[in-house]
Amino acid sequence: MTIDRTQRVGWKFLALYAFGYTGIWMALLTPGMVSIALKLRQLSPGSAAQDLALVLSIGAGVALVSNPIFGRLSDRTRSRFGRRRPWIVAGMLCGTLALVIVAQAQGVGMVLTGWCLAQLAFNAVLSALVAVLPDQVPEENRGTVSGIIAMCLPLGQALGSVAVREVADATLLTFLLPAVLGCTAILVFALWLPDDAQPSVTPRLSLRDFVRGFWVDPRQYPDFGWACLSRFLIAMGSSFINAYLPYYLIEGFGFAQELVASRLSQAVVIQTVLMVLAGLISGKLSDVVQRRKVFVFAGGLFYAAGLCLVALAPNYQSLLIGMAVAGIGHGAYFGTDLALVTGVLRSRPQDSAKDLGLLNVANTLPQSLTPALGSFVLLETGGNYPVLFVLAAISALLSSLAITPLRTVR
């Protein structure tokens, strides 16, 4: 079946794609942010913090490995239901069932098992969902769609948190309500998705070739290597601020622990609002001028500037200004970055989902490295959080510089 590409970037496509993306983030992020912490506090109140770190870190490792693997499988799927739809539907249903295991678990080990299964399934969804962009959207419209996708993550987080707050007394519902809402959104999109019913046949792939396919030679595809490095560096800066900002508020500004949640929420809301606005604007403008690098480059610079302002803030109000600037930079970067990356992958369209999964490794790996690196820096500097955030700003600045060598996109 041949589908007219001009029909794929209308408002119906944009709305349903955003609807589906918001759904997967609601189902995936809400347990990690809220529900699992509450569940572990019920099971082992004396060691909940340590158990949470164990569950989330191993789960992140599963996500790190599974995303490119499912992307590779999705690229080579040949069925009458299409390439992407089977993984989107099956992954969402399996992920929801895995969350039931977590909700009903009677021990930490079962929570860990269920969460790993959920990460496995939901990353199958993500790997197929992100590949819809190069599959369905002409390059001249990808900035707009990229900006909308960037908005979906904070929106999914917010909606999931509201959903959990309404059913906080029912453990099963804290897992199931966001998952069912997210599953509904994904299924609506998947059923409408104009996925090719009869894609072209590809040659059989040996296990050795399958494994070797996860290596992309940066000498042959240097732009892909630079794009991965840039994503890794800005994700490293973001991971530092996300992990250590609560402690900075306590030790750097003297807030009592019971006030940290409200102060942190205020800062995150300001950052998120500006991030969403900047992402939508930068994505749309990048389509208008048909240039991606300048917006990604400027986003990294703004993010670095915001982190410097946070590091040097003399008071809480100044910190909020820094978070606002960082939100603008973060939104501008990620609002255009996906459009830039899909432009880089034009020479490898048959591997788009797998390569985008590898790019996600660059986005996820810093979350595993941040605790060790952050602890080392704080130990060597006597708990100096401004030094840590300045290093995060340098990482964001380098992410901008890593964009400049790209030649296949403007």
Q: How far is it, in rounded angstroms, from Cα 262 to Cα 325?
A: 20
Identify the three-state secondary structure at position 83.
Answer: coil
Is 80 exceeded by the pLDDT of residue 100? yes
Q: Among residues 189, 155, 179, 152, which one has the least CA distance to residue 32?
A: 179
Would you tell me which CATH number, out of the four given (3.90.550.10, 1.10.8.60, 1.10.10.10, 1.20.1250.20), belongs to the domain 5-197? 1.20.1250.20
The alpha carbon of 316 is separated from its chain's Cα centroid by a whole number of angstroms, namely 28
Tokens (6 digits) for 70: 């499912």
**pTM higher than 0.85, yes or no?**
no
* CA atoms 28, 32, 36, 38: torsion sign: negative
Mean pLDDT of the residues in the chain: 79
The predicted pLDDT at position 192 comes to 86
Amino acid at 192: W
Residues in the chain: 410
The predicted pLDDT at position 92 comes to 92
Provide mean pLDDT across the span 115-136.
86
Reply yes or no on domain 222-401 having CATH 3.40.605.10: no
H or E element, residue 102: helix 85-104
Cα–Cα distances in Å, from 49 out to 37, 38, 53, 128? 8, 11, 6, 33
Identify the three-state secondary structure at position 371.
Answer: helix
Of the given ranges (5-14, 49-58, 173-182, 384-393), which has the lowest mean pLDDT?
A: 5-14
Provide mean pLDDT across the span 325-348.
78
Angle at 236 between CA 240 and CA 248, to 5 degrees: 10
Provide mean pLDDT across the span 125-135.
81
Is 90 exceeded by the pLDDT of residue 235? no
Residue 407, Cβ density class (10 Å: 0-12 exposed, 13-18 middle, ≥19 buried)? exposed
Which one of 20-24, 78-82, 165-169, 357-361 scores highest in mean pLDDT?
20-24
For the chain, report the end-to-end CA distance as a whole number of angstroms.
33
Provide mean pLDDT across the span 250-273.
76
Angle at 129 between CA 128 and CA 133, to 5 degrees: 110
Question: CATH 1.20.1250.20: which residues of the chain?
Answer: 5-197, 222-401
Is 50 exceeded by the pLDDT of residue 410? yes
For 179, residues 6+ apart whose C-beta sits below 8 A from its C-beta are 27, 95, 96, 99
The predicted pLDDT at position 149 comes to 77
For 199, residues 6+ apart whose C-beta sits below 8 A from its C-beta are 78, 82, 83
